């Protein structure tokens, strides 16, 4: 955070950013929705929307890094997305390979630490290979953490955490009495990452769709009609400025 306003006081268009140092979110999570509609409106196949969405992923990572976010989490493929037509699923599974092939050097240069949340063991071997290579190159980086949710479901995350904890109880490594909300967080796929302060969803839909359901308990929510391929840095900054005006009480009265 120390370099936050050295690097971020100007937007790409050269105008002063309205973002204040106060109430700066540490973790922003995004439900990237609307790729299919973006393509359909242009008479293109749905996969063209996913491809355009990939460029937005690159732009929003850049913008987030320049703005000074510490954690960015992107919902790229849910446990429910397997229900889509096979060709679309296959295309989505190839995107990480294409994305990291072209972006990995810049991510490394920015010091971005990439993480993957979700059950990556169920992804095709070529996607898993991309996951492994990306973790090798970026896993120890000390800059912004960008988590890609791939084959991620919030409920599956919670069940996985319960199973992992129960296994440790069986092995006498812990006891049920030691279980608290904080301890439970260490068994989720987001361990070590603070809960999201702000969750953004594009395309006008207003639901969480099984994204970070435990971690979202006190997240602020922000919705925009913009379809994901049209989501630009200015839109991200609007979300952050709106967040900065909100009073978070966490159930208290402050």
> Is 220 annotated in some ligand binding site?
yes
Q: In the complex with ligand FPP, which residue's Cβ is closer, 99 or 152?
A: 99
Q: What is the CA radius of gyration of the chain?
A: 18
Q: Verify binding: residue 99, ligand FPP, rule CB under 6 A.
A: yes
Q: Verify binding: residue 54, ligand FPP, rule CB under 6 A.
A: yes
Task: Please classify residue 144 by burial: count the beta carbons closer than 10 Å to its beta carbon, then call 0-12 exposed, 13-18 middle and 19+ buried.
Answer: buried
Whether residue 81 lies in the annotated active site = yes
Q: Verify binding: residue 222, ligand FPP, rule CB under 6 A.
A: no
| CA quadruple 10, 138, 124, 90: dihedral, nearest 10 | 20
Those residues whose C-beta lies under 8 Å from the C-beta of residue 32, and which sit 6 or more positions away, are 53, 56, 57, 74, 75, 76, 202, 228, 231
- Single out the segment in contact with ligand FPP by CB under 6 A; choices: 12-20, 47-55, 61-69, 137-145: 47-55
x/- track of binding to ligand FPP for residues 125-154 (CB under 6 A) = -----------------------x------
- Single out the segment in contact with ligand FPP by CB under 6 A; choices: 90-98, 118-126, 166-174, 230-238: 90-98
Q: Verify binding: residue 33, ligand FPP, rule CB under 6 A.
A: yes
Q: Verify binding: residue 37, ligand FPP, rule CB under 6 A.
A: yes
Task: Give the C-alpha separation, 65 to 68, whole Å.
Answer: 5
Whether residue 182 lies in the annotated active site = no
For the annotated binding site for Mg(2+), the residues are 33, 220
């Amino acid at each position: 955070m120390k370099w936050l306003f050295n690097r971020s006081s100007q937007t790409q268009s050269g105008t002063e950013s309205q973002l204040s140092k106060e109430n700066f979110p540490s973790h922003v999570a995004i439900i990237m929705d609307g790729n299919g509609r973006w393509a359909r409106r242009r008479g293109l196949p749905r996969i063209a929307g996913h491809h355009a969405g990939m460029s937005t992923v690159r732009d929003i990572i850049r913008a987030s890094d320049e703005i000074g976010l510490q954690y960015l989490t992107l919902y790229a493929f849910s446990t429910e997305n397997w229900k889509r037509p096979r060709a679309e699923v296959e295309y989505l599974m190839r995107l990480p390979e294409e994305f990291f092939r072209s972006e990995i050097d810049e991510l490394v240069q920015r010091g971005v630490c990439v993480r993957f949340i979700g059950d990556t063991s169920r992804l095709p071997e070529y996607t898993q290979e991309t996951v492994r290579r990306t973790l090798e190159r970026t896993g120890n980086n000390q800059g912004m953490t960008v988590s890609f949710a791939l084959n991620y479901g919030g409920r599956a995350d919670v069940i996985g955490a319960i199973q992992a904890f129960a296994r440790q109880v069986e092995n006498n490594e812990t006891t049920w009495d030691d279980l608290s909300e904080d301890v439970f967080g260490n068994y989720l796929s987001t361990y070590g990452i603070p809960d999201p302060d702000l969750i953004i969803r594009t395309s006008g839909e207003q639901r969480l769709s099984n994204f970070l359901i435990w971690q979202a308990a006190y997240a602020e929510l922000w919705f925009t009609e913009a379809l994901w391929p049209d989501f630009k840095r200015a839109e991200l900054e609007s979300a952050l400025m709106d967040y900065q005006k909100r009073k978070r009480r966490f159930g208290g009265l402050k």
